[in-house]
Structure formats: structure tokens, C-alpha cells
Amino acid sequence: MSEFTTDHDTIRKWAEQHGGKPAAVERTHKDGDVGIVRVMFPKAPHSEHEALVEISWDEFFDEFEKRSLALLYEPDSMFSKIVGRDTAERREHGDHKAARE
């Protein structure tokens, strides 16, 4: 079952347990702007990590907070999706169409 978190330690621990690294979408990572953040899994089959650039956890979490993001993830798999905290809150309160419309 998927869970939401904004806790930096939980995110980092989960990512590292699954071989994940902090990343930014390369085309948005320019001139001091971190851009769109992701967790990449370079060793995963069918990973599209060539479109990503590895960044530090500090850069990742600075952007994560600046944009008020949350991580939707499955604790026992590599599934994850970064969403806005407002979307996470709405989905946790039963609005399963949040961010899909």
C-alpha cells in the first residue's frame, strides 16, 4: 500500500534502501535552479535516468521544501511519485481524483 511522507530522513532511508539517488530533470536544472526533483534508480531495469542529473540530498530537500512537495511511495518497492503537499492531503482525506483532473 502506498504512503505519503514529507520527512527527509524517511525519504532518504527509503531511497537508499532501494538504490535511489536524489536527482533533477536535466532540462530544468540550469543556472543555479535545481529544477524538477526526482528520485532516480540507476540500476533499475527500464530506468529513464539518462534524462536526470544526480544532485545532493541538500539540493533535493531544499527544492522539496521550497515547492511544498511530498513523496508518495511504496515502502517495499521502488515505486514513488513526487506530488504537491496539497494533493497528498486531499488524497489522504479521500479525494482519489486529486491531481488527476
pLDDT digits (tens, 9 = 90+) for 51-96: 889 999 999 999 999 999 999 999 999 899 999 998 767 766 665 6
Is the separation of the CB atoms in 68 and 86 below 8 Å?
Answer: yes
Q: β-strands 37-40, 21-25: how paired?
A: antiparallel
Query: Which DSSP string do the residues of 27-92 spell out, in sequence order?
Result: GG-BTTB--SEEEE-TTSTT--GGGEEE--HHHHHHHHHHTTEEEEE-TTSS-EEEEEHHHHHHHH
Domain positions in the chain are: 3-89
How confident is the model at residue 95, as a pLDDT?
Answer: 58
Q: What is residue 20's predicted lDDT score, i.e. its pLDDT?
A: 94
pLDDT of residue 100: 46
Confidence of residue 101 (pLDDT cuts 50, 70, 90): very low
Using DSSP's 3-state secondary structure scheme, residue 34 falls into: coil
The per-residue pLDDT for range 23-63, each reduced to its tens digit, is 999 888 887 789 899 999 988 776 666 788 999 999 999 99
* 0.85 surpassed by pTM: no
Helices marked H in 6-84: 8-17, 57-66
